[in-house]
Amino acid sequence: MNGTIVFEIVGGYIILFTVVRLLGKSQISQISPFDFISALVLGELVGNAIYDKETGISIIFFSIVIWGFLIYLTELLTQKSRQMRYILEGRASMIIRKGKLDWKQLKKNKVDIDQLQQLLRDKGVFSLQEVEYAILENNGGISVLKKAEADQPTLSDLKIKGPKRAMPFTIVSDGEIMAHNLKEAGVNEDWLYKELKKLGIRSPNDISYAEYLPGKEIFVQKY
- Distance from C-alpha of 37 to C-alpha of 59, rounded to nearest angstrom: 21
Q: What is the pLDDT of residue 138?
A: 77
Q: What is the pLDDT of residue 80?
A: 79
At 89 the pLDDT is 67
Q: Which long-range contacts (CB under 8 A, 24 or more apart) does 160-166 make?
A: 166/213, 166/214
The fold of the 93-150 domain, in CATH, is CRO Repressor (3.30.240)
What CATH number was assigned to the domain covering residues 166-222? Answer: 3.30.240.20
Edge-first strand listing for the sheet containing 219-222: 176-177, 169-173, 207-212, 219-222
Residue of 140, 27, 131, 128 lying closest to 92 (CA atoms)? 140
Render pLDDT for 196-220 as a digit per residue (tens, 0 to 9). Answer: 999 999 999 999 899 999 888 999 9
Q: Residues of the chain whose pLDDT is less than 50?
A: 1-2, 24-29
Q: Any idea where the domains of the chain sit in the sequence? A: 2-87, 93-150, 166-222
Please, what sign has the CA dihedral across residues 34, 35, 40, 41?
A: positive
Q: Which pLDDT score, from 0 to 100, does residue 215 have?
A: 84
Domains 93-150 and 166-222 share a fold: yes
d(CA 144, CA 137): 11
Strands 176-177 and 207-212: unpaired
The per-residue pLDDT for 219 is 93
